[in-house]
Structure 1
Amino acid sequence: MLYSMYEMNRMAMTPWRAAANATRRMIRAPWNPMGDTVAGRTMAAAAELFESVTRRYGKPEWMLDHTVVEGHRVPVREEVVWSEPWCDLLHFRRDHEMLDAIRGPKKDRKVLFVAPMSGHYATLLRGTVETFLPDSEVYITDWQDARMVSLADGRFDLDDFTSYVRKMIALLGPDVHVVAVCQPGPPTLAAIALMSEDNDPNRPASMTFMGSPIDTRKSPTVPNKLAEEKPYDWFAKNLIHTVPAPNPGALRRVYPGFLQLAGFMNMNLDRHVDAHWNFYNHLVEGDGDSAEKHRTFYDEYLAVMDLSEEFYLQTIKDVFQDHKLAKGEQEVHGRRVDTAAIKDVALLTVEGEKDDISGIGQTQAAHDLCSSLPDALQMDWIQPSVGHYGVFNGRRFREHIAPKMRGFWDEQGAQALAGRKS
């Protein structure tokens, strides 16, 4: 019922958004002298702010059509190399003829980013992907919005997520470096543990976990405490709703994106209110650069996706309430996960000093779980002065974290591969 009311309200606002857009365009038209007045800029700013806060933000574009290698602009195109109903595996394919002409033939490392399936789209990692494009073959999981997946395509839970990750790793082969950002840490570790136990020849060279809830009992944060304090039934009764028609996923039970967004916003409500007020003032003052930065950030931040009921509830119970992976009790499709089976996949963990989503120690817990892994194949890094998003994006990520990741892949990752051949 709540989802239907939300959709009805969104549709009811459509003519008002259209009117706001028309007002903004009319005032800002080159021929309208009112656009240069304080009153005109104020009206246009109010119209744009109204439109931006009432809009449904669709899936963002990647906007990565090129990279720069040794000062040369190299074209990049998105390519789907594997697809199932709940996920596409994207490859950002660079123009190899141009690369060879610039620096000579060279085989770059393969990197698979396992993006979070926790509300935002994979494009939240745009900056992460962009950082490694110049010197890596970059792949990323592009998870589907549950609202867009037909009931005919079946259910999707945390076990299915783990199986998908394993399939994608196997597709890319043993020389791939797997990077799980935030939420997918536990299922990615589980997938690699199962591959190791099976002595799968396509188990990856390395695994990197960034701000991941491997063991949320360590340094619990506000979201962790909420997940533990509320009973499981509370999440099922209050956060799960039915997708209404005419969405492709009509009648599917989901944790709606708009509820997730409300949770994100309430965590730092004052900050978001101030940001929109500053946006309004920048528009009135004609500060186009600051206004554009606001638009870019919120176009991404406000774009959210629904999660399937079974995936969300199993994640709450297994990861945040029962801590099954951390306790050695995790099962995938009835098979227990033994993380001690990992003996030759190099392990890097990255945490942010000021992370208020995944506290210090939660990601580091992967080292304790991989008890059979030699110390020479392990590394931990805590980045000073960054929060959760700074772990995988921003200046400190580019200048400090990314170089450590490259070095780890090229040294410990290569060492892990070499050990298998000896």
Structure 2
Amino acid sequence: MLYQWLETQRALMRSLDAWTALAAAPWGASPAAPADAGAPYEGDARLASVALPGCDWIYRLLQATPEPPPFHIESVRIAGMRVPIGEDVVDRTPFCALRRFERRFESAFQEDFRSSDSGAAPHEHERACVLLVTPLAGHHAVMLRETVETMLEDADVYVTDWANARDVPLSEGHFGLSDYVLTVERFVRKLAARGVHVLAVCQAAPPALAASALATAANEALAPLSVTLMGGPIDTRLHPTMIDRLAATHDIEWFRRTVIDVVPPRYAGAGRRIYPGYVQHAAIVAAHPHRQVALESRYWTSRMSGDAAAIASSLRSLKEYSAVLDMDEDYFLDTLRIVFQEQRLARGTWSVGARRVRPETLTATALFTVEGDRDDITGSGQTHAAHEVCPAIPDTMRRRMTVEDCDHYDLFTGPRWHEVIHPALRAFWATARAAAHPSNT
């Protein structure tokens, strides 16, 4: 298997590690090496100390797929106050951790604002709550760190942090698209009492909408306040992209034969059949080489400038983008068939177990869809199609936005996210919450 072969080659190539360090030694440690700056993961100190251009690139190349960097969000600025952020895991399944990022206003008031006239810190039940449903599409959830940090200005944020399938023992069973939906439904139910806003990005959009519909059908009290879908393939029949065409022109067995591999013995998930992260990463880089080049360029520019903060930030971005994960075979093939080939959500034919997914049950949940006009991963109209799928939502509770000069990644990172999408999202959440609690307005 290719996976095993790659692991063997990496083990052999890592013998060059000593040469890399020796080659860099005459140049000494970089004076701009970041001491902490939320060190993305082990090895950063080593990388930061390499001053010879190119040596740290060699070092990264020789390593196995790295562990993802931590989120490391210590605080955010809200209304002029620096508010500490607490991070913990509040629920867990073998394939996903529900990671909570909580704004600790009490600490901010007690430590820094004793004389402030800003008023008392809001109680937990009064604070907005967002469930960020991250895509299980090759990258770890930390790739959306910038998204999380921005949304913490408005709400406590809960994030679906999907496990790397290579690290899940076979004894935990397999994981398919239905399991993804049920996991998200479990989290929606858990947060429903707080009044949760569900936000789904990319491939997370169909299962997040399905989970919201299933929870609502079971009990209207479990309905989210709102659902926002950004760049998600709700109906891939509309303006199909290269990804959509690839999925439509090959049958499931072709994908099984071509891209499915087996986790090698060194990992906890040894023997699990997976779609490897290295295949997905290669496909992403091939499809969007400009993004990889931009990240590398930003990193080397910061190295040349000697700016420690810029080095830490650019290296983190590079490693967040490079940290990939393996997906269980069942999930990968289910997604191809149900989302990309059969469009079951759009056609109204999707069932999860014995329950039919019925988005028409969403009557009191506001819906916001966001697309980028240069998105070459999710075609034009594919996300906005959710409005047709959810016919019972009142027009006053709907919003759709197509962002100009915006590609797929711009939807959740960079200037378009900060200057256009996030302000619109903030206003949408406020409107949805006011509609749900008119007595509080």
| TM-score above 0.5, yes or no | yes
Q: Letter of the 2:350 partner, please give it.
A: Q
1:152 aligns with 2:161: no
Q: Letter of the 2:408 partner, please give it.
A: H
1:116 aligns with 2:135: yes
Q: Which region of structure 1 is more displaced relative to structure 2, 154-163 or 94-103? A: 94-103
Q: How does 1:265-344 map to 2 (within 5 A)?
A: 265-269=285-289, 272=292, 276=296, 294-344=314-364
Structure 1 residues 95, 5: CA separation in 2 closer, same or farther (over 3 Å shift)?
same
Give, in whole Å, the separation in 2 of the partners of 1:60 and 1:95: 23
Corresponding position of 1:37: none
Give, in whole Å, the separation in 1 of the partners of 2:415 and 2:319: 20
Corresponding position of 1:20: 20
Shift of 1:19: 2.4
Structure 1 residues 93, 233: CA separation in 2 closer, same or farther (over 3 Å shift)?
same
1:393 aligns with 2:409: no
Corresponding position of 1:131: 150
Correspondence for 1:78 among 74, 84, 87: 87
Give, in whole Å, the separation in 1 of the partners of 2:73 and 2:296: 27
Shift of 1:408: 0.9
SS at match of 2:153: helix
Q: Which region of structure 1 is more displaced relative to structure 2, 365-374 or 132-141? A: 132-141
Q: Letter of the 2:55 partner, please give it.
A: A
Q: Letter of the 1:363 partner, please give it.
A: T
Q: Which region of structure 1 is more displaced relative to structure 2, 65-74 or 295-304? A: 65-74
Q: Which region of structure 1 is more displaced relative to structure 2, 70-79 or 366-375? A: 70-79
1:348 aligns with 2:368: yes
Q: How many residue pairs get matched?
A: 410
Corresponding position of 1:373: 393
Correspondence for 2:191 among 167, 172, 185: 172
Correspondence for 2:60 among 52, 55, 60: 52
Shift of 1:99: 4.5
Shift of 1:341: 1.7
* Matched-pair contact (CA < 8 Å) for 2:3–2:263: yes
Structure 1 residues 343, 279: CA separation in 2 closer, same or farther (over 3 Å shift)?
closer
SS at match of 1:183: helix
Q: Letter of the 1:198 partner, please give it.
A: A
Structure 1 residues 261, 214: CA separation in 2 closer, same or farther (over 3 Å shift)?
same
Corresponding position of 1:36: none
Correspondence for 1:250 among 264, 270, 290: 270
Give, in whole Å, the separation in 1 of the partners of 2:297 and 2:159: 35
Deviations 1:98-131 (A, max 9, x none): 3455532323211110111111011111011111
Shift of 1:92: 0.9
Give, in whole Å, the separation in 1 of the partners of 2:294 and 2:219: 53
Give, in whole Å, the separation in 1 of the partners of 2:247 and 2:437: 39
Correspondence for 1:96 among 95, 98, 105: 105
Shift of 1:279: 5.8
Deviations 1:37-71 (A, max 9, x none): xxxx9981132221133333221110201112233
* Matched-pair contact (CA < 8 Å) for 1:114–1:141: yes
What stretches of structure 2 of length at least 5 have no aligned partner?
32-48
Shift of 1:152: 0.9
What stretches of structure 1 of length at least 5 have no aligned partner?
32-40
* Matched-pair contact (CA < 8 Å) for 1:205–1:413: yes
Normalised to the residue count of structure 2, the TM-score between the two structures is 0.87
Give, in whole Å, the separation in 2 of the partners of 1:413 and 1:162: 25
* Matched-pair contact (CA < 8 Å) for 2:28–2:50: no
Provide the identity percentage: 36
Structure 1 residues 279, 65: CA separation in 2 closer, same or farther (over 3 Å shift)?
closer
Corresponding position of 1:34: none
* Matched-pair contact (CA < 8 Å) for 2:260–2:276: yes
Give, in whole Å, the separation in 2 of the partners of 1:343 and 1:333: 23
Correspondence for 2:380 among 344, 356, 360: 360
Q: Letter of the 1:306 partner, please give it.
A: D
Structure 1 residues 17, 411: CA separation in 2 closer, same or farther (over 3 Å shift)?
same
Q: Letter of the 1:255 partner, please give it.
A: Y
1:66 aligns with 2:75: yes
SS at match of 1:68: strand
Corresponding position of 2:258: 238
* Matched-pair contact (CA < 8 Å) for 1:377–1:416: no
Give, in whole Å, the separation in 2 of the partners of 1:79 and 1:42: 33
Shift of 1:271: 6.1
Shift of 1:231: 2.0
* Matched-pair contact (CA < 8 Å) for 2:295–2:317: no
Shift of 1:275: 6.2
Corresponding position of 2:429: 409
Structure 1 residues 356, 232: CA separation in 2 closer, same or farther (over 3 Å shift)?
same
Shift of 1:234: 1.2
Structure 1 residues 195, 67: CA separation in 2 closer, same or farther (over 3 Å shift)?
same
Q: Letter of the 1:62 partner, please give it.
A: F
Structure 1 residues 50, 168: CA separation in 2 closer, same or farther (over 3 Å shift)?
same
Give, in whole Å, the separation in 1 of the partners of 2:322 and 2:254: 25
Give, in whole Å, the separation in 2 of the partners of 1:30 and 1:397: 33
Give, in whole Å, the separation in 2 of the partners of 1:350 and 1:14: 44
